[in-house]
Chains A and B, each alone.
Chain A
Amino acid sequence: KNEVEQSPQNLTAQEGEFITINCSYSVGISALHWLQQHPGGGIVSLFMLSSGKKKHGRLIATINIQEKHSSLHITASHPRDSAVYICAGDNTDKLIFGTGTRLQVFP
């Protein structure tokens, strides 16, 4: 069965801290998406990766195919980073979503 598991479920941080969110996935998933869900419900795609590492501004995503593990890092966190971060496994023609990590960054 295709599964995606995320940790932690909830995360609080002080502004400026380095954040790491982890995601592990099962066999059958060939790529990993990181998404951000805002308090209003909208979903924004942050990264899609099938190998290596990607960086966009203060966000970095890495994936280890052998270990079936991916991480999302946020450097110099800011209160505007507060959101739910979701990893989703790509099973070719559908996404399998994790439960999300609720991040709150306090000033």
Chain B
Amino acid sequence: EPEVTQTPSHQVTQMGQEVILRCVPISNHLYFYWYRQILGQKVEFLVSFYNNEISEKSEIFDDQFSVERPDGSNFTLKIRSTKLEDSAMYFCASSDTWQETQYFGPGTRLLVL
């Protein structure tokens, strides 16, 4: 069965460093999402992406964040200058249309020291 994959599974970085989190959505899906979950808290929406542009973004998704679909398969989340509070599990998801089942990747656990 097709699945969403994410790399790396874990990343440790120093405050101020740039990180890129990678996702490979399900191949025929057109809608892509990033969510994050700070330890012990609920999952929060970051950004949705369709047709090579951002559809919606949350207040969390400030100028330090960017997303890109550099080729036909990858979907990346870049954090330019990480802060301690960026430490969280980051989930990528994809769906074939709006308001349909979203398929989640296994997550990338980011730790900023």
Contacts and interface: CB of A to CB of B under 8 A. Distances in A.
Contacts of A35: 104
A30 B98 CA distance: 11
Given A41-B89, A42-B106, A43-B91, A95 B45 contact: yes
Interface residues of B, number: 25
B103 to A, nearest CB: 7
Contacts of A42: 104, 106-107
Nearest to B104: A43
A50 to B, nearest CB: 7
Interface residues of A, number: 23
B44 interface: yes
A38 B43 CA distance: 13
A42 B108 CA distance: 10
Nearest to B58: A94
Interface in A66-107: 86, 88, 90, 92-100
Nearest to A94: B45
A45 interface: yes
Contact of A48 (B89, B101, B106): B101
Nearest to B46: A94
Interface string B15-55: 00000000000000001010101000011110010100001
Given A42-B104, A43-B104, A45-B104, A93 B42 contact: no
Interface of A: 30-31, 33, 35, 41-45, 48, 50, 86, 88, 90, 92-100
